[in-house]
Structure 1
């Protein structure tokens, strides 16, 4: 009875567009009130206990590093580097969009931040080159989904923390899938540009001097993901310590090497970090309380029994999960989905013999797809609001990218080696 009240209340609050964190807290409080065996103090303890974890500091550090990167001049250097290496490809500016998302994903860890940044920088320029606004916006939104699985993606850290999975392994597992997504988008852009005859003219060759200058500027930024992954895998530092090093590295580049960060910008970056981190941490605290409610009612165990009774093979299980997550992703933000659903899926993985690292990348890709779809796609609304694009036109323009993303998700599901090769090798 108490669980039914909590779930109905959560659904009602969700339909009323109440922020998900407060919806989870109110639903958990309702469960306690309708259950005489527990007091509200236990709920508060669960919320606070959900935040008392050293690995969670990695999220704060990487958020800080990603925000600092936007004030250090790294974005402009990455943009020049991406322009140089895609200069001779058909649809070169659209190719820049894809490559820049991949490169910046290794620095910011936030797909919404990357989508917002590129919507401001690239979409107006793409319109001038002949691309439609809807296509430019849909491409920007679609390529931003590479970010969550490129280390140090916040989603990777969240999943690793909640599912008790090695964050270092998650970082390594995301590299090849991220590259596959990047190449897939670039291939599509190639044929799109050829078909619509956009940016197909020959460009003058890049001189060695130009190549070295642009590469030198971008090299220090590109080095950061390599330092993070290498340091974690060789046991030099933990994922949390890697986050602190990333913050120090961003400050070092901005204040000493590039010298483009001012004190006022540093203060602005710190305030932005506090706002972003607080919004994530309150969701984690609320999710911890609601997860406690679900555990008390043995919901994960019941779901596991149901799935094992009606689903016979690991592949069938992954297909069911894919469809389920595509629907869930339309209504619930990605990080919230990770917080709520990870504890539910973990017992099932053991029953079906699926590696949690392999499932984690598949899981994150699937829930990310929902951020491009109505009615509540966060990346969709972020990019459309910035570029002033009609949502209906966006939906039509994004269909090829949605199909491509689903195909990549299926590829990751059926070929575990794509995610597991690097963790197993290194």
Structure 2
């Protein structure tokens, strides 16, 4: 297995696309074991994509692109401005709030960071915020997106680990609120020290407040409808993806009337690209995962960690540190696919709740999107705003500390994470 991992690392450092790197590394395992039937790599690659729960991923991706084409992001920006426009930090506070509101729309941290960098980056600079600080805020704010329904990471984790996707969706709201509070407080402290001013010095008129909330109400209702549909048994996790597409089309064609032939074609084209890359990665990861299970890697790692400590909280901290370190070099989607079969059985053996661990694990895996050297969201934002990585990294340190403290609070206070799932779905 060491040769397999080494092959993956070398191919990744050479710049090979992750899907091919993970697939070729898995193939090395079968070359090492000629006694295994040569048909297994093909079989597991095809069977990996036949999981019915994974059908929700392409549907939610399409729904997100349709909503963006429908102008939902602009309406949510008005809501975010109404909520936090008077807080110290100006558009930095607005951008973090917008990420929280956008979670139910895009489901992708990279997509959210890129979109906000184009929408707000230059304006944040014109209003006196340093571009490296703006880049750090825009990147780390996007950490809220994958943990608000319908985050793709939750669907992947739930389908791989056989964990209720409905409970995972419900569990995302409180951690998202904690992350928003931590980032907002960090921005406020930085703004207080540097003298950054609010976006508005005076409050918005009541009429403007009502108009902003009215414009964004249907988009804000989207994640609530997802939860209600799952809780009432109206939809399965796969069927609710189809509902999301219908709802997005309803907003775009009938309510906001922003979707036309051109914008719809762009949404479909973007969705095909996104769906193809995600599903191809999932398919080829099956070859790698087969080797992990065959070599009993989960049991080996579990025994090693239990040899250090059998305390659930300490084991979760060790896992978080491992995942964050791996995230410096590996994409969050790959981490969720590769490490869920390794760490989830360990957590279950120690009596941990898979939903609680899932939220901690997904956030830890997502952190790598915003940190050097391979953070995809980091590169997207820095490229759009033309910010050097060194300057970005210095400004990102307070954001990273805030997110780390929130993750620690989640580990030691599982009741905060499980409050909504237990309330809606029972214990």
TM-score by length of 2: 0.97
Kindly report which structure 2 residues correspond to 1:49-128, keeping only aligned pairs within 5 A, or say none: 49-128=47-126
Q: Aligned partners of 2:199 and 2:52: how far apart in 1?
A: 53
Structure 1 pair 342–202 and aligned structure 2 pair: CA distance change class (3 A): closer
Q: Deviations over 1:199-252 (max 9, x none)?
A: 248633322222222211110111111100111122111111111111111111
Indicate the residue corresponding to 1:193 in structure 2.
191
Indicate the residue corresponding to 2:244 in structure 1.
246
Q: Deviations over 1:34-73 (max 9, x none)?
A: 2122233211110000000111011111111111111101
- Which ranges of 4 or more aligned residues in structure 1 deviate by more than 3 Å? none
Indicate the residue corresponding to 1:145 in structure 2.
143
Q: Aligned partners of 1:163 and 1:21: how far apart in 2?
A: 21
Indicate the residue corresponding to 1:282 in structure 2.
280
Residue 260 (structure 1) aligned with residue 253 (structure 2): no
Native 8 Å contact 2:46 2:283 kept in 1: yes
Of residues 205, 208, 222, the one that matches 2:203 is 205
Native 8 Å contact 1:193 1:200 kept in 2: no
Indicate the residue corresponding to 1:397 in structure 2.
395
Instruction: Out of 134-143 and 234-243, give the one that drifted further.
Output: 234-243
SS at match of 1:274: helix
Of residues 379, 382, 402, the one that matches 1:381 is 379
Indicate the residue corresponding to 1:160 in structure 2.
158
Alignment gaps of 5+ in structure 2: none
Indicate the residue corresponding to 2:353 in structure 1.
355
Q: Aligned partners of 2:73 and 2:87: how far apart in 1?
A: 21
Query: Displacement of 1:31 after TM fit?
Result: 1.7
Native 8 Å contact 1:330 1:376 kept in 2: yes
Structure 1 pair 330–41 and aligned structure 2 pair: CA distance change class (3 A): same
Native 8 Å contact 1:155 1:364 kept in 2: yes
- Once superposed, what is the RMSD of the aligned Cα atoms? 1.3
Native 8 Å contact 1:29 1:40 kept in 2: no
Indicate the residue corresponding to 1:293 in structure 2.
291
Alignment gaps of 5+ in structure 1: none
TM-score by length of 1: 0.97
Native 8 Å contact 1:194 1:200 kept in 2: no
Q: Aligned partners of 2:183 and 2:4: how far apart in 1?
A: 42
Native 8 Å contact 1:66 1:109 kept in 2: yes
